[in-house]
A and B are shown apart, each in its own frame.
Chain A
């Protein structure tokens, strides 16, 4: 599905990510972890098309999308729930979802709103509320829901649990679990290693823009100290 081939990206001359290679196969979950400033968000933004690649390639379903604009990537099936959620605060929940499904037909929109409501019942009955007036947890659900409106094959989520109560985090992960079981590939960034290890198939640890450890989540689960040592190095 998604393959990064020695990707280097950054801002102006500054390299936020260097020579990163990773793969998210169909229907699998990859968790990117790492200290603040390690380059996790930059990686996601590069895949979404908001940070331009300086070197290397981004492949999606076998096609080289390295130079494609963000708009074309969503049609291919890449959707992002970004860091800080970045909802449209002055738009209603329904309108945020409409924007999420902008790359799909109007008919698909109605169907996908139903799906999102089934996944996050907390959003039901709030369709006319302004997105900016919702609680942090509801906003995260809406950010994920908005991305799902694009009918992605790959869902990317940055900072799933940041700033949320444990009960709300559980709801989000339960939803992600269901999406994975439906065959969706997920690339997520997570501060909580425990949560990341539980849902992921593969874990990739970034440090200063480089992958320092990539392996099966099982290995990380069995020996969390191993991975956390890498995180510790960076801190």
Chain B
């Protein structure tokens, strides 16, 4: 593998991290909840996407249905588990979230079995050459999706009335409410968007690995946590940069740090190193 290969592979990984971590940072920014169960929602997306593809034969249709359906699932999840404990101190939601994540993994094990499931006919497996690098179509799709979905989110947040209401609510919920913004609605939209993005990441990871297992959310759970801390909790731009940086660093790390560190440990080494130099994360919280 040469440098451009490593860079491109790293950016693809980074796009997946970004799709997962943006939702986590959005939930934190709005509600100050560390939503660990977000990784369970990611796994749900992977299962639903894979099973629907096998059922319908159309990956594209399965992808769209999964993203929307899991988005709604995220809203219900918020309503059932977080809304009742919003006025409790933050550690209550954190503990609930960890418990929910563990429970979700167990439910997946019971419902879908402990062994991995694969695509009957793995889609997007052909390779094409882009700028001298041979890439699987699935990896290109990851990058395109990340750009389209996160770009779409930026347009929503920056240009629409509901997007402005959303940012106002993040900034000062009581004031936003006193001008007529429905906080419950903003929170539902927030969970829809976060969960839909996580589901998109889940389906794409299922595609790239061609397998889904109940525990596949474990590693993304802690990496996404490291990413949003590095990005400055609640800061979406910082989160995107930290996600891409981690993807690239891991990619090069697998070559240069192979003997010293496991790939999945790099995120924490990176986190510890950055926090020693900049305790506020790479980017200050906004």
Contacts and interface: CB of A to CB of B under 8 A. Distances in A.
Contacts of A48: 178
A74 B179 CA distance: 6
B167 A90 contact: yes
A70 B165 CA distance: 15
A99 B179 contact: yes
A146 interface: yes
A102 B174 CA distance: 14
B172 A98 contact: no
Interface string B147-164: 000000000000001001
Interface in B98-138: none
Interface in B171-208: 171-172, 174-182
B168 to A, nearest CB: 4
B278 interface: no
B91 interface: no
B168 A91 contact: yes
B286 interface: yes
Contact of B171 (A49, A73, A74, A90): A90
B179 A100 contact: yes
Given A86-B175, A98-B164, A150 B180 contact: yes
B161 A50 contact: no
Interface of B: 161, 164-165, 167-168, 171-172, 174-182, 286
22 contacts: A49-B178, A70-B174, A70-B177, A71-B177, A71-B178, A71-B180, A71-B181, A71-B182, A79-B178, A88-B167, A88-B171, A88-B176, A90-B171, A90-B286, A95-B168, A99-B179, A101-B179, A102-B161, A102-B179, A102-B181, A103-B179, A106-B161
Given A73-B178, A88-B168, A102-B180, 5 more contacts: A74-B178, A91-B171, A95-B167, A99-B176, A102-B181
